[in-house]
Chain A
Amino acid sequence: MASSSCGGGSDRQMAAQHRLSIIAGHLQRPSGSNTAILAAECKAQASKPFVSSERRTVPRRRQEIMKWNGWGYSDSKFVYNKKGQAEFTGRRYKLSGMIIPGLKDWMENTFGATLQHKTTATPALNSSAVPPPTLNEAFMEELKSTGIPFSADAEDRVFRAHGHCLHEIFALREGKIGRVPDMVVWPNCHNDVVKIVELACKHNVCLIPYGGGTSVSSALECPPEESRSIVSLDTSQMNRILWIDEKNLTAHVEAGIIGQDLENLLNESGYCTGHEPDSMEFSSLGGWVATRASGMKKNIYGNIEDLVIHIKMVTPQGVIEKSCQGPRMSTGPDIHHFIMGSEGTLGVITEVTMKIRPVPEYQKYGSVVFPNFEQGVACLREVARQRCAPASIRLMDNEQFKFGHALKPQVSSIFTSFLDGLKKFYITKFKGFDPNRLCVATLLFEGDREKVLQHEKQVYDIAAKFGGLAAGEDNGQRGYMLTFVIAYLRDLGMDYYVIGESFETSVPWDRVLDICRNVKARIVYECKDKGVQFPPLSTCRVTQTYDAGACVYFYFAFNYRGLGDPVHVYEQVEHAAREEILANGGSLSHHHGVGKLRKEWMRETVSSVGMGMLQSVKDYVDPKNIFGSRNLL
């Protein structure tokens, strides 16, 4: 076993012992829990982790700091205060504790959602509503002997039975619980995972890897037809940076680490990965690899496939990894590409070597206002053509511009509000922009101060050719801040009969405008057709630029008062919208993945032969379907 196979000093063992006792202190459990904490040494610790992470963001009992039926931290949410003004609670974000005066009117005007019509979510999980676990006794016995912590507690299981699709959260709010995992295990290192997978194979237990739980593709849903015991393998405790190689600028990291911890820890050493998906507060490195994630700043740092140097994955057939860390290889099809996007169907990603970069010297936000969306897209296309895209460039359409406006926190001084008024006057009256057509691009530049300023000028010059006006750093920064709080807003909407979600695609440049127009129109059309009583919000933004195309994000929400089965209507509309995307030359997904939500379109997306290839890999790697999430195929 691990403790005997790897040698090590007693110092290290003591340190591990000490650390575990601290963690055990954090995780005081009610008595009678199934969890057992043992100080078993992990192979991964054979060399001292480069950066140890005592300050974990994600405890095993996630529900202690995170909502069980909504997005993010329990202490952070939008509420209407006593005066009827919207407010964002908590202290974690820039927006926290601020009043957002425009939000209430925006909600009323956009959705017809008023304070009078409120729905209340089930406040706490009713454990009796959770089906009792189907436990595989033999598996459990052997697992116990390994000392890997596990739990069959209802709250733990429910928390890992869902991602953040609308239907998943909606059901939780209603207190409806479907098939949930029967058990949760928390491996502490690669070797723990090897043991768990071996045991799962031996006892024919179904494993579903769980990273950050931010999936929006129904990938974490337990297949209702699964009769075996389902074990959720929570990687959150595998969250160490094992080493940093400053010569090659790489870091070897355990795959359970979540984005913000990874960045923070690397920052301490003066590095970053630069991989910042919108979910980076909660999503995990393993999850990124398993879904082919994309980060906001991919223009500088690349998407996950560009960042990854080496991957270790535990499969029922054993561990898969490459033998070296060469930056590029011509050794047949890249096996990493079987792993990236496998969505938990082949195994558990345990360790990843990633590229790192020195933390940039200088960061600058910016924004540009365009008279209309067409001009904005033309500008982004030109920026991509000249390959001078800043770290991030995003173009919001008019509806999102207004939405962003509605989320402006209360300004503190008369001077600021006067300045805002002046800006507005300049743009709409002096420059003649139609407030109902104009749109805004937000920018983020990174690098040497000199170069950033030079780069900034280049981009603004291009923008000017397309009628764009620089609109200040504040607007840009607020745009990016919204990325993190927008997910919280859905919970507020759900309190007032508004449901919605976002979905994305990638599309060649010449179809960007067409797809945006048609998908938005299709959403409106389908809502009307399905009997939605209020006009929906149907909006989009271009969030990434590539040489040959762009990534487009759609936001869609509506007031469901008067509908018998709002979730069904929602799903029908989303389905139609996806059909429209595909009909207009868009892809099935740019970075959310397929999961079970978009599975039905996989065959037409990759062709029957393609499906056969993927299937044969699955059949070889996991013949007993131990990783039985049934995603993708």
Chain B
Amino acid sequence: MASKVVYSPRDPMLKKRDDFEDVLEERRRSSDLRYALRCYTPVLYKGLTPCKASELKTMVLGSDQLHYVVNQVSRESGVSVDEVQAEASVILEEMAQRLQLSTIRFFAFTLSKVFKAMFRSICVNEEGLQRLQQVIQEHPVVLLPSHRSYMDFLLMSYILYTYDLPLPVIAAGMDFMGMKVVGEMLRMSGAFFIRRSFGGDKLYWAVFSEYVKTMLRNGFAPLEFFLEGTRSRTAKSLTPKLGLLNIAMDPFLKGEVFDVSLVPVSISYERVLEETLYARELLGVPKPKESTSGLFKARRVLSEDYGSIHVYFGPPVSVRSLAEGRVNRSQFSLVPRHIPMRPSEDVHGFVNDAAYRLVRAQEDNMVLKPWVLLASLLLQNQAAGKNQGVPLGELIQQAVWLRDLCRQFGAFLHWPDHVPPSEVVSSSLSLHSGLVRVSEDRVFLALEQGFLTAEEELLSQAVVVLSCASYRNQVLHVFLRPALLASAIHTASSSQKRKAPPPLSWLRFPLLTRVCDFEEACYLLTKSGALHVNQHEVLATERGHRTLAFLTGVLDPFLQGYQVRLVCRFLCEDATEALTERRFVPAVREFIIKHLLKGRLRYPEVLSSDLQRNALAALLRLGAVQKVQGCVCFAHLYVLHMDAFPF
């Protein structure tokens, strides 16, 4: 029984969190030029083999690893070794960074100007940087920032420069390279470019992984990459990509370095630069191609207020201690280390677990602004059909209630306590004036009306809703586990019309399958007084009703989204036997729009392509859907199973 497994209360409230320093404060007081030209002497890794960026390339091209693959590719393809080697050289040339101090100084100067214009403050936890400084000297370091904006890696390098820490080399998507001058500038500030997909290309993989490993082994510079692979359009954490993490852990697993330190970094924006852009993208308007001219057009963003940024450098995680007892490193003793091997089952599982752990570490240290609470409340009110808005006073009162709940759940909430709540709320609302309106003391979502067609109107409103949702999503990780439990309780008691409270074992099915998640949910809800858990059952308390209702409301749009997938099954079966993956999203979108307009669905959020893709991925994982030659079709065997699905 789950109740026997005691959830060890990981009470985050008790965890001391570091204080923040505003980096921009100093910039506003002293010369940017002097700052950009100041003496920069970062601490270095003690095992550093000093070498230039160009020497790195020679090392990679001369490595045993690459020779092996070059020979292999040459044998398989019949192309001469020299030609393959030349091809490898071209790949490397396209990829490699050319870190240069002068470019860094240029960025230091311009970014100071830009940041000061756009942001009120950039707050950094200095203790985190001190920890980083120490660990940089000890072991090769991998920086793992969350990815919510293009700004992220510029910001990272900017902060590291400010604190006299070594500048990282950054794995960036190839799409940046398309931006003529800027691409080269980024390269000179430490970015190296990788293709988004190179699945079967052995040579590319070999060059790439050897390049990364060489930099790591030599301690050339901290390696920085985004675990999530791409910017999260929804502000929810994305499923971590394992490729680079695998590469980054490899030198440790194979004994080439004593340890590797992973440093999760949480960057939270009060207002994300790309907010409406993301929403449009989720609704099917494709992402604009990165181009230099596009960047200049975006100049107008400079004049807007984007509030503050919080950057939290988390405690370094040692790969060695992660692997302790998990991976038997002697498995690498029997094959020469330069021969590329598919990671064994246990290594894959280990890297996967580590990746999720790191993503959670990012989430845990993500600073939440009051606005994310307001966004959650406004969305729920909106969905409840209150198109007429919420009275400001009520919103403030709700926000204060939610603030306290959040804190009980251990959220890292940055709510200025010395300022009266009304001021906090109104300041947040004014920063996001694009999304909310306040008139006659009532707060509305800024949904425009008066479009030609109902569909156009729906889409324009969805943009606002999805933008708001992306803020609400920032707080999702705090509520997720209790909310799943709350929803389960809700469904259990309403659909089954049972008077008796549901048994614990039933509630765990099917969303809280991991015992520790379930225990955590129980713990948090009991702590906040919303639930009473005894040996066999859970009871909602009188005052817990509001909490449970709110939590259910948080999940509702997602559950409806997944339900739509079920409905959509019929559409798919009616329309065609199979859909190609590319056509899948538009087809589902059309279907949803139809239902939204008919009023059968409540949440415009379900239009989000992210939700649809996740649902598809989940169905694939459950085996309810199969991929056949790039097409999606239902495994009929599973239809019955899906009917048994409780939602």
Chain A residues engaging chain B, CB cutoff 8 angstroms: 510-511, 514-515, 517-518, 521-522, 525, 582-585, 604
Contacts and interface: CB of A to CB of B under 8 A. Distances in A.
A518 B337 contact: no
Contacts of A522: 258
Question: Which 10 A-B residue pairings sit nearest by Cβ, starting from the closest?
Answer: A583-B329, A585-B333, A584-B255, A521-B258, A514-B255, A518-B258, A582-B330, A583-B330, A518-B255, A514-B256
B332 interface: yes
Contacts of B256: 514
A517 B258 CA distance: 7
18 contacts: A510-B336, A510-B337, A511-B255, A514-B255, A514-B256, A517-B258, A521-B258, A522-B258, A525-B258, A582-B330, A583-B255, A583-B329, A583-B330, A584-B255, A584-B329, A585-B332, A585-B333, A604-B330
B255 A585 contact: yes
B328 to A, nearest CB: 8
Contacts of A583: 255, 328-330
Contacts of B336: 510
Contacts of A582: 330
Nearest to A581: B330
A522 B333 CA distance: 19
Contacts of A517: 258
A518 B330 CA distance: 14
B338 to A, nearest CB: 8
Interface in B36-71: none
A515 B256 CA distance: 9
B436 to A, nearest CB: 53
A510 B258 CA distance: 16
Nearest to A517: B258
Contacts of A514: 255-256
Contacts of A518: 255, 258
A522 B255 CA distance: 12
B594 to A, nearest CB: 59
A373 to B, nearest CB: 12
A49 to B, nearest CB: 47
Contacts of B330: 582-583, 585, 604
B255 A515 contact: yes
A510 B333 CA distance: 11
Contacts of B329: 583-584
Nearest to A515: B255
A93 to B, nearest CB: 38
Interface of B: 255-256, 258, 328-330, 332-333, 336-337
B258 to A, nearest CB: 4
Contacts of A515: 255
B531 to A, nearest CB: 41
A510 B339 CA distance: 13
A515 B258 CA distance: 9
Given A583-B255, A584-B329, 13 more contacts: A510-B336, A510-B337, A511-B255, A514-B255, A582-B330, A583-B328, A583-B329, A583-B330, A584-B255, A585-B255, A585-B330, A585-B333, A604-B330
Contacts of A585: 255, 330, 332-333
A522 B330 CA distance: 16
A519 to B, nearest CB: 9
A474 B127 CA distance: 53
Contacts of B258: 517-518, 521-522, 525
Contacts of A521: 258
A524 B366 CA distance: 35
B45 to A, nearest CB: 13
Contacts of B255: 511, 514-515, 518, 583-585
A89 to B, nearest CB: 41
A518 B337 CA distance: 16
Nearest to A585: B333
Contacts of B328: 583
Nearest to A507: B333
A383 to B, nearest CB: 21
B216 to A, nearest CB: 14
B606 to A, nearest CB: 50
A525 B320 CA distance: 11
Q: In this complex, which of B255, B256, B328, B333 has the most chain A Cβ atoms within 10 angstroms of its Cβ?
A: B255
A517 B328 CA distance: 19
A50 B255 CA distance: 53
Nearest to B337: A510
A521 B332 CA distance: 20
B118 to A, nearest CB: 44
Contacts of A510: 336-337
A518 B217 CA distance: 13
A389 to B, nearest CB: 23
A584 B253 CA distance: 9
A595 to B, nearest CB: 21
A583 B337 CA distance: 13
Nearest to B327: A583
Contacts of B333: 585
Nearest to A521: B258
B316 to A, nearest CB: 14
A511 B254 CA distance: 10
A584 B257 CA distance: 10
A180 B336 CA distance: 47
B566 to A, nearest CB: 49
A38 to B, nearest CB: 55
A510 B337 CA distance: 9
A241 to B, nearest CB: 42
A515 B333 CA distance: 12
A144 B337 CA distance: 62
A381 to B, nearest CB: 14
A405 to B, nearest CB: 24
A339 B329 CA distance: 32
Contacts of B332: 585
A346 B80 CA distance: 59
Nearest to B47: A517
A284 B55 CA distance: 54
Contacts of A511: 255
Nearest to B49: A374
A4 B256 CA distance: 67
A521 B139 CA distance: 11
A437 to B, nearest CB: 12
B241 to A, nearest CB: 27
A585 B332 CA distance: 7
A31 B333 CA distance: 60
A7 to B, nearest CB: 58
Q: In this complex, which of B256, B328, B330, B332 has the most chain A Cβ atoms within 10 angstroms of its Cβ?
A: B330
A296 B336 CA distance: 29
A582 B333 CA distance: 9
Nearest to A601: B330
A522 B256 CA distance: 13
A515 B332 CA distance: 13
B347 to A, nearest CB: 13
B458 to A, nearest CB: 59
A282 B336 CA distance: 40
A515 B330 CA distance: 12
Contacts of A604: 330
Nearest to A605: B330
Contacts of A584: 255, 329
Nearest to A520: B258
B62 to A, nearest CB: 15
A233 to B, nearest CB: 37
A522 B324 CA distance: 13
B381 to A, nearest CB: 54
A510 B64 CA distance: 11
B340 to A, nearest CB: 16
Nearest to A524: B258
A190 to B, nearest CB: 42
Nearest to B329: A583
A525 B336 CA distance: 28
A214 B256 CA distance: 35
A142 to B, nearest CB: 49
Nearest to B336: A510
A522 B328 CA distance: 16
